[in-house]
C-alpha cells in the first residue's frame, strides 16, 4: 500500500511517517520504480505502536526505546515497566504542576469582583514585587 493508506490505517499522518523514517524511528520501506514508498501490514502495525506511545505522552526518543524493547524478545518485562513508571511519574509531575497553576489562578480569580470596576487582585498579584524571594 502507498503512504496515504498507511497513514489512514495507522492514524499517523503521511508527513509524520516520512519524518519518522528520516530520523530512523522506523525503517525505510521498499520503493516502487517511481520512488513511491510501499508499506506492508506489519509497517502499519509498527506505526500504530508509535501512535499509541505518542498518545500516552512518550517522546519520540522514548518511543524509539519502546520499539527496541518490543522487538527484543529477550528483554525482561522489568525493563519495560521501569521505563513506563518513570514516564508515569513525569506525567503526574507535569499534571500536578499545571494543577498548581490552575489552583493559584483560580484562587486569585475568586477574589476578583469580575464586574465593571477596574480593581483586580489578579493583575495586582502579577504586578507585585519580589520575583521569588521575599523582600524587594
Partner DNA sequence: CCTTGACCTTCCCATGATGGGAAGCCCCAT
Partner DNA sequence: ATGGGGCTTCCCATCATGGGAAGGTCAAGG
Rank residues 15 and 81 by Cβ distance to a copy of itself and give the closer one.
Answer: 81
**How remote is the C-alpha of 58 from its chain's centroid?**
5
Rank residues 2 and 104 by Cβ distance to DNA and give the closer one.
Answer: 2
Q: Establish if 15 lies at the interface with DNA (CB under 7 A).
A: yes
Q: Establish if 37 lies at the interface with DNA (CB under 7 A).
A: yes
To a copy of itself, the closest distance from the beta carbon of 97 in angstroms equals 8
Measured between its terminal Cα atoms, the distance across the chain in Å is 66
Residues in contact with a copy of itself, shown as a per-residue x/- string from 53 to 92 under the rule CB under 8 A: x-xxx--------x--xx--xxxxxx-xxx-xx-xx--xx
Grid cell locating 12: 499517523
Closest to 28 (Cα-Cα) out of 46, 52, 55: 46
Give the Cα separation of 52 and 91 in Å (integer): 15
Amino acid at each position: 500500500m502507498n503512504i496515504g493508506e498507511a497513514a489512514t490505517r495507522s492514524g499517523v499522518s503521511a508527513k509524520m511517517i516520512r519524518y519518522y523514517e528520516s530520523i530512523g524511528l522506523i525503517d525505510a520501506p521498499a520503493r516502487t520504480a517511481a520512488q513511491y514508498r510501499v508499506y506492508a501490514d506489519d509497517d502499519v502495525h509498527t506505526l500504530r505502536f508509535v501512535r499509541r506511545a505518542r498518545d500516552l505522552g512518550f517522546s519520540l526518543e522514548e518511543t524509539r526505546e519502546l520499539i527496541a524493547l518490543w522487538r527484543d524478545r529477550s528483554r525482561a518485562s522489568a525493563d519495560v515497566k521501569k521505563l513506563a513508571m518513570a514516564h508515569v511519574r513525569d506525567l503526574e509531575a507535569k499534571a500536578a504542576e499545571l494543577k498548581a497553576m490552575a489552583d493559584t489562578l483560580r484562587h486569585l480569580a475568586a477574589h476578583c469582583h469580575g464586574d465593571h470596576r477596574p480593581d483586580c487582585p489578579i493583575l495586582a498579584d502579577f504586578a507585585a514585587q519580589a520575583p521569588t524571594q521575599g523582600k524587594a
